[in-house]
Structure 1
Amino acid sequence: MIEIDTEKAAEVVDITRRVNDAVRETGVDEGICLVYARHTTTAIVINEGEGGLVADLLEKLSALAPPGDGYHHDTLDENAHAHLQAALLGNSKAIPVEDGRLVLGTWQRVLFVELDGPRQRTVSVKVVPC
């Protein structure tokens, strides 16, 4: 399990190293790693962690589902936009494991996306041997 303290309403946190550490701790050499965000207003994506791309991602999500756009759910807690944005991205990713490490491309990173922060968040990491 990975604990993340986010600092902004919307932000992207690179958790690649922490996921790799969790994989290594299992001792599994070959398998599948499931990375799962345990919140309905967060997401997990695999992409480049470059600052400009991260800003583009957050700006595009805000354009697709902007805050305060008359959502029904906003009558409860004014975060419907965050739920919709998270639904677009998804809350989990399955990543191959080889030689006890995540199999990622050169620029690929495991990114946690906060969409309703700041909050304390939890990401589950499970590794299934193959």
Structure 2
Amino acid sequence: MDIFQRTIHLEGFGQGIHCITDHITGQLPELEQYRCGLVHLFLQHTSAALTLGENTDPDVRADLVEHLQRLIPDDLRLYRHRIEGADDASSHIKSAVIGASLVLPFADGRLLLGTWQGIYLCEFRTGRHRRSIIATIIGAR
């Protein structure tokens, strides 16, 4: 077993749920050097999240955004943590609920995602932020 690690930087994504599968695979050409293994993705932020979702119908992403907003609204009156604005505390809670990491299998240089699966960055803050993901490959060459 060999281990490889790299930091992947994502820039320019505004609030919403964004398919980043191509960004991830494009920045991990080392996958092609392995027969099989796992990729661990860890997002180094507390106001965004990583998840898997359907990669075909954009309405699925829109539904997720809408329902998360209903469950965890951006309303300062609901939170003690108010330092950075109305979307700050709610962003931290959404991140905690969805999570900051994924473990994905791969073989022969490609991720073994299902036909309709994609990797998604859930950006909960308004504005555009630079996000960093630590990608760790653990696999057999």
Q: What is the TM-score when the length of structure 1 is the normalising length?
A: 0.89
Structure 2 residue runs without a partner (length 5+): 1-6
C-alpha separation in 1, matches of 2:121 and 2:8: 11
Pairing 1:22-33 to 2, within 5 Å after superposition = 22-26=27-31, 27-33=33-39
Instruction: Say if 2:31 is the partner of 1:20.
Output: no
C-alpha separation in 2, matches of 1:122 and 1:115: 15
User: Which residue number corresponds to residue 4 of structure 1?
Assistant: 10
> Aligned pair count?
128
- Residues 52 and 116 of structure 1: is their aligned pair in 2 closer, same or farther, counting only changes over 3 Å? same
Query: 1:85 is matched by which residue type in structure 2?
Result: K
Pairing 1:65-80 to 2, within 5 Å after superposition = 65-68=72-75, 69-74=77-82, 76-78=83-85, 79-80=88-89
> Which structure is larger by alpha-carbon Rg, 1 or 2?
2
Query: 2:73 is matched by which residue type in structure 1?
Result: P
The 3-state SS of whatever aligns with 1:77 is coil
% identical equivalent positions: 27
For residues 66-112 of structure 1, what are the alpha-carbon distances to aligned partners after superposition, in whole Å with 9 as ceiling and x for unaligned? 011420111x2231000011111000100001111111000000111
Structure 1 residue runs without a partner (length 5+): none
For residues 23-60 of structure 1, what are the alpha-carbon distances to aligned partners after superposition, in whole Å with 9 as ceiling and x for unaligned? 43242221100111110011111111321011111111
